[in-house]
């Protein structure tokens, strides 16, 4: 399965402007043969976690954009956005950082970021998720996580035995870019799976973002990388490669 990571800029707190920016990039990714298109974390707003009006209802405009793009191009489209879960208590209307995975037939899956980013104030305004998910797409077992989750190996390991590819959208700032790049490769190597990291570029909230998106294979080799400009990364994900790697190097069985 061909996956595309869309490394893009984000207009701060302007959903309509971001939808207009991203629609042609999703179309280009689909035209390039991608069956799954990954956008960044908070692709429609930027990481404006201290904005009390940032949250939208589950199934709101950001999710609707992903669903519409998936249907229009006949591919899976995904990224994260601030959604107030449908089962929220009326007394707690904080959004979750919701990874929305939309299929071409209207199917929608959601993962809520388990680790809100305390250092950046996300814990003050966003609720943490509690459940990991995994989705099989065209024979590929896909596990979504979000940005700061990358620092926590346990969640990756819980999914490892049945994961072919991890998807990690992010708003990871330039100041810690070495951590981002190193951790993506580490998670691929230790779990013997593909990792697709899609980070934004540009400036927002006083921070600079330089992309460094990358697609890593189960041995930690880089299949595609992005630098500091908007671009689309492509790579073909082969479950047989994951199986062969794990069969040859039987490291997962030795973990306790």
Examine the residue annotation and report whether 203 is marked as an active-site residue of this protein: no
**φ, ψ for residue 88 (rounded to 5)?**
-65, 145
Identify the active-site residue in 56, 58, 81, 113: 113
CB-based contacts of 253: which residues, under 8 Å, 6+ apart? none
Q: How far apart are CA 101 and CA 144, in angstroms?
A: 9
Residue position matching structure tokens 């306790």: 256
How far, CA to CA in Å, does 184 sit from each of 102, 150, 160, 172, 189?
24, 7, 14, 12, 9
Q: How far is CA 45 from the centre of its chain?
A: 15
How far, CA to CA in Å, does 16 sit from each of 9, 23, 123, 155?
14, 11, 26, 33
Residue position matching structure tokens 């990224």: 79
Sheet strands (E) in 64-190: 76-84, 96-102, 108-112, 135-137, 140-144, 165-170
Q: How far apart are CA 168 and CA 144, in angstroms?
A: 6
Examine the residue annotation and report whether 198 is marked as an active-site residue of this protein: no
Examine the residue annotation and report whether 113 is marked as an active-site residue of this protein: yes
Identify the active-site residue in 58, 147, 155, 198: 147
Query: In a 3-state reduction of DSSP, which class is residue 244?
Result: helix
Residues labelled catalytic: 41, 113, 147
């Amino acid at each position: 399965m061909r996956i595309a990571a869309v490394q893009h800029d984000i207009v701060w707190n302007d959903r309509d402007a971001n939808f207009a920016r991203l629609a042609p990039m999703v179309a280009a990714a689909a035209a390039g043969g991608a069956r799954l298109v990954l956008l960044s974390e908070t692709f429609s707003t930027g990481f404006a976690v201290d904005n009390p009006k940032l949250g939208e209802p589950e199934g709101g405009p950001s999710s609707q954009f992903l669903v519409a793009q998936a249907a229009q191009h006949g591919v899976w489209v995904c990224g994260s956005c601030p959604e107030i879960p449908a089962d929220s208590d009326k007394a707690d209307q904080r959004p979750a950082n919701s990874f929305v995975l939309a299929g071409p037939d209207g199917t929608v899956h959601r993962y809520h970021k388990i680790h809100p980013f305390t250092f950046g104030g996300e814990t003050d305004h966003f609720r943490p998720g509690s459940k990991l998910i995994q989705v099989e797409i065209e024979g590929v077992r896909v596990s979504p996580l979000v940005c700061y989750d990358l620092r926590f190996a346990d969640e990756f390991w819980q999914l490892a035995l049945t994961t072919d590819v991890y998807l990690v959208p992010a708003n990871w700032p330039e100041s810690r870019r070495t951590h981002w790049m190193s951790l993506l490769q580490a998670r691929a190597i230790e779990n013997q799976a593909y990792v697709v990291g899609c980070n934004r570029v540009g400036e927002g909230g006083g921070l600079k973002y330089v992309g460094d998106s990358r697609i890593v294979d189960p041995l930690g080799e880089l299949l595609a990388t992005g630098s500091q400009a908007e671009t689309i990364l492509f790579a073909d994900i082969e479950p047989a490669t994951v199986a062969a790697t794990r069969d040859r190097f039987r490291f997962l069985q030795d973990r306790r």
